[in-house]
Every structure is written in structure tokens, then in C-alpha cells.
A and B are shown apart, each in its own frame.
Chain A
Amino acid sequence: MQDKTRRFSINSDEELMFRLSNGEEQAFDELYQRYSKRLLGYFIRMLNFDKDLAEDALQDLFLKIAETPENFDRSRSFKTWIFSVASNTCKNYYRHKKIVSESREEIILMEASKTDNSFMITASQMDGKTFRKMLEEVLNKLSAEKKEAFILKYQEEKTISEIALIQDCPEGSVKSRLHYTIKLLEEKLKIFKPIN
């Protein structure tokens, strides 16, 4: 099967979707190879680090793509489109599986000042495991939109305009969502700040 999918490796995502709508399984396999790991990571982080739920969501997403490949909007980039579908899958999980963040209340940030060097100093002094744990805690406390913007920006390295397209919102909203999350991380890091 590896050899069969090889012949599709030169095809663009959009071409693979066209082949998929003609019932070519190998095109599906190639798309799965390209995106499954990234999407699993996205779902794990979006669904409060529940790996089983993330795998279910991944299955649902690829089932949706297999069932109705014609839903792919050819005027859009596949990379943006697939994350829009993933975003909607997450929304369904939030709705039906009762996934709620620990605190949905907006945390009032102490100040709207520019992020200073202290973030980098403290963060780089922390060991990787502690920082990861703190990051997980912060992500779990965020609303779905803020969490998604953060994951798309830093895991998927999408641009602000791409995130705005996926989230179907103005770029300004994406920027403020990201800013909020970084400020929240900064607040959390203050606990670890060495006392001078």
C-alpha cells in the first residue's frame, strides 16, 4: 500500500480531494498520511488532552471527508478548509460530549502592558516538563476560540489571516485572542519568577 500511495505523493491536496471524490482510496490514504498526526495533535489539545476522544474526533473528521468530499470548497485552500472542518468537529464534541473548560470566566488580566523580557527569562529557566504542565493547565482554562487560535498559531504555525479564515472572524479578534493567552501565560509564569 505504501507503494500505491507513493504515486499520489506529488499531487496537491486539492488534486487528492478531486481523486477522492472519484472514489480513489489511495488518495484518501495519502491525505491521511499528510494530516492525521497534525490533526490528532490539534484534537488532543482542543479536547483537554483526552487522547481517546481525540482519536474519535479524528475518525469522525476523516469519515466526514470520505462521505462527502464534494463539500470541499475548491475556491479555498485545503489546509485552511480541513482545519475549519476540524474546528466544527470540535464544536460538536463540546456540545454533545459536554467538554467544558475548567473555568469559562474571562480572567481579568492585571495590566495590558507589553510582554516584557521576564516571560522569556522565567520560561527558559523552567524545566520542559513543568512548562508543559503549566501550558496544558492554561489551555484547558481557555475558551474554545482562544485555545484554537493559540494551537493554530503555535502548533500549526498558521498566519493570522489563515486563522481568521478558519475561525470565520476578523483578524483583530484573532490577535486579541492570542494576546489574551500570552498574557495569561505570563501571569502564570509570575508564580515561577525567581525573587530578586
Chain B
Amino acid sequence: MENNNEINQFLSNKMSLDELNLKDPDLSLVAAARNKIAARKKKPVNEIEDFFSLVAAFLNFKIKLYHAVIAAVITGGVILYVTRSDHDNKDESRASEYVSNIASVRSSTVLSSIYTFGLNKTQDDGRANN
């Protein structure tokens, strides 16, 4: 037991850092790491900076497949909705147009003039035959 302790002590001495003659590593060795921490530091941002960072984030936005699929589905839905409501409006306007046309035809003198024209024509034809 004592022998083991002696060996452990001896090896600890031989394995100590002093045996390697090391100097303290320079902090400049980890300059990149320190920059990373500085970048992580939360700093107060004003609204303009915030707006520009938002724009920059938007420009840097990477589109993924599911983004495209969702966008296509939404666009398709909107187009379908708009065209259908447009179609319904057209039907309605056509119906009202038809009604007003009928009314105008009924109220016009064209029909009666056609009738008069026909009557006059048969009378003329009868006279000619006589």
C-alpha cells in the first residue's frame, strides 16, 4: 500500500505541468473565440437598425421546399376565390342586363312599328293584286 502511494507520488511529480516547461498560453490564441462571445452579446438596437436588420434577414431568407408549397397553395386558393367571386358578379350583372333589355324592348316602339310595317305591306300587296 505504502509502495503504491510512493509510486503514485513519484508519477504525479513526473507528470506535473512543470515537467513540460510550459508558459501560460497567450490569450491571443483564442481571439476568434473572444470575437464570437462579443458577437453574442445582446446590444440595444434602435428601430432603424431593427428595420434594416429585418430587411437584411428577409434578403438572406433561404426558401425551402415547404415554403414554396405553402406559398403555392395560398396563391392557388386566392386565385380560385377571386375568379369565383368574379364569375358570380358577372352572372348577376348579366341577369340584370337581360331584365333591362327585355324592358327596353317591351317599351320600345320598334315592335309596334314592325307590326305596322307588316300591315302596310299586306295592304300594298293586296292593292297591287287588285
Contacts A32-B30, A58-B25 hold; do A135 and B14 have CB atoms under 8 A apart?
yes
- SS of A interface (majority): helix
- The answer to whether B11 and A154 touch across the interface, beta carbons within 8 angstroms, is yes
Q: Are A23 and B42 in contact (CB under 8 A)?
A: yes
A window 140-156: CB within 8 A of B: 150-151, 154-155
Q: How large is the interface on B (under 10, 10 to 19, 20 to 34, 35 or more residues)?
A: 20 to 34
CB-based contact A154/B15 at 8 Å: yes
Give the interface residue-count category, chain A: 35 or more
Majority-rule SS of B interface residues? helix
B22 within 8 A of A: yes
Check: A123 CB closer than 8 A to any chain B CB.
Answer: yes
CB distance from A192 to the nearest CB of B (A): 14
Residues of chain B lying within 8 A (CB to CB) of residue A117: 3
Q: Which of B2-51 contact A (CB under 8 A)?
A: 3-4, 6-8, 10-12, 14-17, 19-20, 22, 24-25, 27, 29-30, 32-34, 36-38, 40-42
Contacts of B22 in A (CB 8 A): 37, 40-41, 44
Q: Which residues of B contact A (CB under 8 A)?
A: 3-4, 6-8, 10-12, 14-17, 19-20, 22, 24-25, 27, 29-30, 32-34, 36-38, 40-42
19 contacts between A and B (CB under 8 A): A20-B37, A23-B40, A24-B41, A29-B34, A37-B17, A44-B20, A55-B29, A62-B33, A63-B30, A66-B37, A115-B3, A115-B4, A115-B7, A116-B3, A117-B3, A154-B12, A154-B14, A154-B15, A182-B7
